Structure 1
Amino acid sequence: MIRGVVFDKDGTLFDFRKAWGPWVETVVRGLAKDEAEAVAMGRAIGFDLPTHSFAPDSPVIAATVRDSARILLDFLPGRELDELSDELDAASMAVTLVETVPLVDFLQGLRDRGIKVGLATNDTEEPAREHLARFGVLHLFDFVAGYDSGFGGKPGPGMLNAFLAHTGLAAEQVAMVGDSRHDLTAGRAAGMACVGVLTGIAKKDELAPHADVVLADIGALPAWIAGRAA
């Protein structure tokens, strides 16, 4: 029986394309000296400015803000990695997010069933908490971790193991829910059930080999949990 769920954030709780496409455009145009360099910078982090589309392996999708900053440094001689990472983190605080489902009702429904709820994101923890608070759901999470919280980033299982330690649940009682292979690889490494969702960039055939089930969005999760308990 599933007694806990750990969610990825972007592409899972929030629609990835609607939030992070505009963010990348704003960031690279703000950093670049001209449009040609902005296009090149976008391409380097897996985003095509002319078509407003992400490559499946874009570090913006599954890696950390620091990873994207490290790539962008090649275009910014004289800039420091820590400084640029902090600048991108600050910009992420203001990103316009779109819920994949109405989150208050969805998360309250899980908690009403006695399910512990966690967040494991490759974003940093402070913006993650701000994003959850903005939608009035931070208090519904038992555990929130970013890649800078001391447990490492995905696809490593550190954040998920920390959720288990925090809640006292066993791995087989918990599902990891995410939109990327990084999420599902982390879940498998932690010994959890793995649920893929299609509100990110990855397609079903990419996620299916790594997941117990692939759902259209998190709205279908309660029925899946109930089915496992039957």
Structure 2
Amino acid sequence: MRAIRGLVFDKDGTLFDFRATWGAWTRALLLELTQGEDARAAAVGRVIGYDLASGDFAPDSYVIAHTPEEIADRMIPHLPGVERAALVARMSSLATETALVAATDLPPLFAALKGAGLYVGLATNDFAAPAEAHLRQAGVRQFFDFVAGFDSGHGAKPAPGPLLAFAASGGLDPAEVAMVGDSVHDLVAGRAAGMRTVGVLTGIALAAELAPHADVVLPHIGHLPDWVASVHEAAEVR
């Protein structure tokens, strides 16, 4: 077993609690697109796996792991008169304005990870610009050595491109990296990249869904330092 030298994180559902952060964003977007008509907003919400009444997401919701462009393509047939480019742009700007709910206390966690000598990155299926903004809002941008969105030129998860770009940027062997995410998309991408995979339960997916694709499933990313330490101890024993 190789020691961990790098950690690459998903963003939504991993750094930030998915329901608490993106439920309000999805509701606001739907009501804006339908001029506040609850019935129409609810109908479009069902198309992307969001329940307007409960504010919750279906386990297979398009919002969980797909790119903004893929989410827009899903909604466009149900939004007469709305242009795709304008919708994608509005989704990006609204995402930047979203109030973030951190999955744990992020600044001390990432200070500790960097203090342990780890190379740290973000690979999200969101746009890169909102991702950068979210890291700054959370007070942790300075701890990230690499940030990629689906529009950064490396592709989107579940393809391994963004994760391999992260490893290459730090001169790391993928076997020395762990991919940390809340969705099957994240973990499939990590496995395809030849990385270890860590599932967290701050998204929509349950432990039983993540476990077949993960080396370990943790309640949230605050448990990572202990897990990384255990991997290092095992590597030293070998």
Instruction: Tell me if TM exceeds 0.5.
Output: yes
Matches within 5 A, 1:34-183: 34-183=37-186
- Tell me the CA shift for residue 11 of structure 1: 0.4
Rounded to whole Å, the distance in 2 between the matches of 1:136 and 1:216 is 22
Compute the TM-score of the two structures, normalised by the length of structure 1. 0.98
Aligned to 2:31: 29
Rounded to whole Å, the distance in 2 between the matches of 1:151 and 1:41 is 30
- Tell me the CA shift for residue 148 of structure 1: 0.3
Rounded to whole Å, the distance in 1 between the matches of 2:95 and 2:55 is 18
- Tell me the CA shift for residue 80 of structure 1: 2.3
Which one of 17, 20, 25 corresponds to residue 19 of structure 2?
A: 17
- Tell me the CA shift for residue 67 of structure 1: 1.1
| Count of residue correspondences | 230
Rounded to whole Å, the distance in 2 between the matches of 1:119 and 1:189 is 17
- Tell me the CA shift for residue 154 of structure 1: 0.5
* Per-residue deviation, residues 103-147 of structure 1 (Å, max 9, x unmatched): 110001011110000000000000000000112111110000000
Rounded to whole Å, the distance in 1 between the matches of 2:43 and 2:82 is 18
* Per-residue deviation, residues 20-75 of structure 1 (Å, max 9, x unmatched): 00111100011114211110011111001111110011111000111111111112
Q: Secondary structure at the match of 1:175?
A: strand
Rounded to whole Å, the distance in 2 between the matches of 1:149 and 1:67 is 16
Amino acid at match of 1:146: G
Rounded to whole Å, the distance in 2 between the matches of 1:71 and 1:96 is 24
Rounded to whole Å, the distance in 1 between the matches of 2:5 and 2:115 is 12
Rounded to whole Å, the distance in 1 between the matches of 2:169 and 2:186 is 19
Aligned to 1:3: 5
Measured on the aligned residues, the alpha-carbon RMSD in Å equals 0.8
Unaligned 5+ segments in structure 1 are none
Which one of 218, 221, 230 corresponds to residue 218 of structure 1?
A: 221
- Tell me the CA shift for residue 175 of structure 1: 0.2
Q: Secondary structure at the match of 2:87?
A: helix
Rounded to whole Å, the distance in 2 between the matches of 1:137 and 1:23 is 22
Amino acid at match of 2:225: P
Q: Secondary structure at the match of 1:176?
A: strand
Which aligned segments of 4 or more residues in structure 1 are displaced greater than 4 angstroms? none
Amino acid at match of 2:30: V
